[in-house]
Amino acid sequence: MSVPVVAFFNNKGGVGKTSLVYHLAWMFSDRGKRVLAADLDPQANLTAAFLDENDLERLWNGDEGRATVYGAIEPLLRGVGDVASAPPLEEISEKLFLLPGDLALARFEDELSQQWPHCNDGKERAFRVISAFWRLVQMGARTSDASLVLLDLGPNLGAINRAALVAADFLVIPLSPDLFSLQGLRNLGPTLRKWRSEWQERLPKNPEPSLDLPAGLIEPLGYVVMQHAIRLDRPAKAYDRWVKRIPIEYASSVVQGRPPETREDPGCIGMVRHYRSLVPMAQEARKPMFHLTPADGAIGSHADAVLDSRRTFEDLATKIEQRVTERLLARAG
């Protein structure tokens, strides 16, 4: 039985996606859940958030090859093997594991693009290439005994993200309250439906019954509004205007449903406010904001903000876990 995979994705960058995945991964582990965070963004920002430069150099320039997601799929890319049977995982804490990202992952883009149409021709190698991410994270989940996988993806609609999203059971969309995020939803919804439909068409053409493949359902769980600091040239009225339009756009573009008739939008998982000075403090301490202590400088109003951040991410983690459980039960029933 496969471990549920939740992807965090928006084709509009700069919305705080990686920070959201980083903090949720820590929060799930704090709550006793074993979790695997997989960095499938070629920019590797999630990996850089978890690890320092010495660790990154060890992973990217090791004597025995790259101990990263790219190193694990490189034999498949070179045509000399398949996905590595021993995923290169980093143990961040007792219940939190990382599948490290790699800037070299960008080299996989062309191969994924070329092999996608070959699935329609029933080519086994094409299915192995397209399913590489899914098989790798599932092996990683089994190795770490994780019960949940979180995927961090880059902000584009390219072949790497298509394969990564095909590997996802569920999708969470981080948003900023602005015009660009709304436009991103308009692009994202149709693209998701197209990729889901194309993968369903390809699945029956797999010529190797023993090859484990993802279902590619990419079911949206909802969106999270990342409330960045309001600029002086962007008054509160403009901010409220975009917040009010998000439920309508999400309903019409992503889930193709009717806009919510009440103020409570079922598509909204939650909101994360901008914690301003906590962000650099947490980065300096190399820990999530809700782990900051007085020794890190979190005193006075900062201490209050630390508690608030903990409540925020506890609420998000609870809602995401509930939605995953409900959807899995619905599928089983």
Asked whether 70 and 11 are in contact (CB, 8 A), the reply is no
Residue 233 confidence (pLDDT) = 47
Query: Burial, 261: exposed, middle or buried (Cβ in 10 Å; 0-12, 13-18, 19+)?
Result: exposed
Work out the angle between the directed axes of helices 159-166 and 179-202 (0-180°, nearest 10): 70
% pLDDT > 70, the chain: 95
Query: Would you give the DSSP letter of residue 4?
Result: P
Q: Is the pLDDT of residue 303 over 90?
A: yes
Percent pLDDT > 90 in the chain is: 76
Measure Cα distances from 56 to 3, 48, 140, 279 in Å.
27, 7, 19, 21
- Is 70 exceeded by the pLDDT of residue 151? yes
Query: 141-155, 194-208, 248-262: which has the minimum mean pLDDT?
Result: 248-262
Q: Which helix (H) or strand (E) holds 270?
A: strand 268-273
Q: Which position has the token pair 């959201």?
A: 20
Residue 237 — pLDDT band, cuts 50, 70, 90?
low
When pLDDT is averaged across residues 238-259 and rounded to a whole number, the result is 85
Q: What is the pLDDT of residues 161-209, one digit of tens each?
A: 999 999 999 999 999 888 888 888 999 999 999 999 999 999 999 999 9
Least confident piece of the model among 20-34, 70-84, 168-182, 229-243:
229-243
Q: Residue 93 in 3-state DSSP?
A: strand
Strands, E, within 131-202: which ranges?
A: 148-152, 170-175
63 pLDDT tier (thresholds 50, 70, 90)? low
* Mean local confidence (pLDDT), 28-54: 97
Q: Which pLDDT belongs to residue 232?
A: 42
**Per mean pLDDT, which range of 24-33, 54-63, 158-167, 199-208 is the poorest?**
54-63
Quote the tokens at residue 199. Answer: 């993968």
- In this model, does residue 321 exceed pLDDT 80? yes
Q: Is residue 238 over pLDDT 70?
A: no
For 269, the 3-state DSSP assignment is strand
Per-residue pLDDT tens for 103-126?
A: 999 999 999 999 999 999 999 999
Selected residue with higher pLDDT from 64 and 209: 209
> Average pLDDT of the chain?
92
Range 302-326 average pLDDT: 96
Domains of the chain (ranges; CATH) run 5-332 (3.40.50.300)
**Integer Cα distance of 62 and 53 in angstroms:** 13
